[in-house]
Amino acid sequence: MTTYIEKLKSQRLKFTPRREAILNYFIKEGRCLTPEDVWNQLKKNFKRIGFPSVYRNLESFEDCGILVKIQREERRLYYALCHSHSNDHHHHIVCVKCGKVEDVDGCALASMGRASGFKVLKHFVQLEGLCPKCV
């Protein structure tokens, strides 16, 4: 939790009760969640919370590197916790069965594309597999 609070602070974002509830929900579930999942959970404790507010909070968490966007086959938007302490370039692997997401350190792709003569600026990679519990 302290890592997350520090990441929030580095973007000058306050650790509000709503943000704390969102983080606790992600920690408790241990899998990727849709903005609707988060909204349904928060409505239990914050009666008048609107969906746009939940969505904005998820986006600010993404800006801080606390959450990452995850794409799954049904093409809905998911978010998952990023456990990395630094914001160094890395990728994520998602379990296709239970939705658990882990960080994958390092990246072998930086040199790809060199032969094309392009200067590579970015790439998008998401690994999929089965987590140890689902194998």
Neighbouring residues of 106: CB distance < 8 A, sequence distance ≥ 6 = 90
- Selected range binding Zn ion among 2-10, 19-27, 45-53, 99-107, rule: CB under 5 A: 99-107
Q: Kindly state the smallest distance separating residue 14's Cβ from Zn ion, in Å.
A: 23
Task: Single out the residue of 27, 109, 120, 127 in contact with Zn ion (rule: CB under 5 A).
Answer: 109
**Residue 104 near Zn ion by CB under 5 A:** no
* Dist. CA 118–CA 135, nearest whole Å: 39
Q: Among residues 67, 91, 87, 65, which one has the least CA distance to residue 77?
A: 67
**Residue 32 near Zn ion by CB under 5 A:** no
Binding site residues, Zn ion, CB under 5 A: 82, 84, 95, 97-98, 100, 103, 107, 109, 131, 134
